[in-house]
Amino acid sequence: MAGSANLSNAGLAREALISGVINAAFSAVAMMLIFGRDDLVPLRGMNGLAGDSLPQSFAVALMASLVPSLLLNRKCGHALAGAKAIMMRSLSTAIGVTALAAAAHWLLLPSGSLSFRTALFGKTLYGGLLGGGVTLFTLARWSGGQRALGRFHDTSSGQ
């Protein structure tokens, strides 16, 4: 973390990139464990990519919100919120993201299947983009709230 709740745009982007890379890697490993080396991976159904997107979306969103929030809170001397409030905020973010992801997958994925390589690429990209996006959203929310209070400054950009 950049050492403050008032992260610069570069600090927010850096944290989102780190989260994206970590979540892309976890998504790739999970894809390999769940689907093995199946030649074809179904798109729809609970045994396909659509069904797998539910636990993936929840886990990625929860961790991409919770971990950066707890780290930022620690850097700020626990001034953002208590651990329970951070957990509840992260949990509500994860539930909302999962609901949106379920709707998007149901609406957008056609029937049929993909090759394992294509599915692996898609799941890795999805996990990375989702993780980075949720982290950016979460830290921007925390940062905006503290910016309004004028309590913290970004020490990473020399300000």
Per-residue pLDDT of the chain (159 residues; tens, 9 = 90+): 333 456 677 778 888 999 999 999 999 999 999 888 778 998 988 888 888 899 999 999 999 999 999 888 887 776 667 889 899 999 999 999 999 999 999 899 888 999 999 999 999 999 999 999 999 999 888 776 544 334 444 444 444
Secondary structure of residue 15 in the 3-state scheme: helix
Report the candidate in 73, 67, 31, 23 with the shortest Cα–Cα distance to residue 49. 31
Q: How far apart are CA 76 and CA 67, in angstroms?
A: 14
pTM (predicted TM-score): 0.81
What are the angstrom distances between the C-alpha of 101 and each of 7, 24, 37? Answer: 28, 16, 25
Extended beta strands in 7-135, E state = 40-42, 113-115
Q: Which residues on adjacent β-strands are paired with residue 41?
A: 114
